[in-house]
Amino acid sequence: MARRFSVGDEIVEVAGRPSAGGATLVIDGQAIEVEARRAPDGVWMLTTPEGTQLQAQVSLVKDTFWVTVGGDTFVMADQIESRESSAVSGGLEAPMPGKVIAVQATVGQEVAAGDTLLIVEAMKMEHGIKAPYDGTVSAIHFGVGDAVEPGSPLCEVAAKEDA
């Protein structure tokens, strides 16, 4: 059964089903076969048919899935969640319990979509917290060494207004 999620400003339909030696993921109608095995620490090791290997971690916080694949974290909320709530998350929240190991931005700094702002270490993996859009860093709520809980707002970026 497919479920619809909001990921930032997009609506994505996702389904998964077991297959021989792994799983078939169907994302917006595109099927992706992967071999999957779960490590003792809960991290999934995925191998694509081309041989690409990825680590994946999935955490559920309330009604929101935090999916980290290859170091990128996606916040996947049920489609019925408001756009305002999804826009606020914007990937600037802690994906799971962890510790801030690097702050790579400063308040007032202009950033481009995809720039890494902070790095959080969780589950023996580093999670880059990236700017969801072009803008200016307006707040940083944690420093290096600070412990963070899932969903904690780490920083804020004010969207750049088009001239």
> pLDDT tens, 64-88?
777 787 777 777 776 543 333 333 3
User: HSE-up of 78 (CA within 13 Å, CB side)?
Assistant: 6
Using alpha carbons, list the distances in angstroms from residue 131 to 30, 56, 85, 128: 27, 21, 17, 10
Specify the higher pLDDT residue, 1 or 116. Answer: 116
Domains and CATH numbers, the chain: 3-79 (no CATH), 90-159 (2.40.50.100)
Give the pairing of strands 147-148 and 155-159: unpaired
Q: What is the DSSP letter of 153?
A: B
- 45 CB burial (10 A radius; 0-12, 13-18, 19+): middle
Poorest-pLDDT segment among 20-34, 67-81, 128-142: 67-81
Kind and range of the H or E element at 84?
A: helix 83-89
Contacts (Cβ under 8 Å, ≥6 apart) of 121: 98, 99, 101, 127
Q: How confident is the model over 144-153, as a mean pLDDT?
A: 86
In angstroms, the CA 26 to CA 35 distance is 14
CA-CA-CA-CA torsion sign (129, 130, 132, 137) = positive
Asked if the model's pLDDT at residue 90 lies above 50, the reply is no
Quote the pLDDT of residue 84: 36
Quote the pLDDT of residue 85: 36
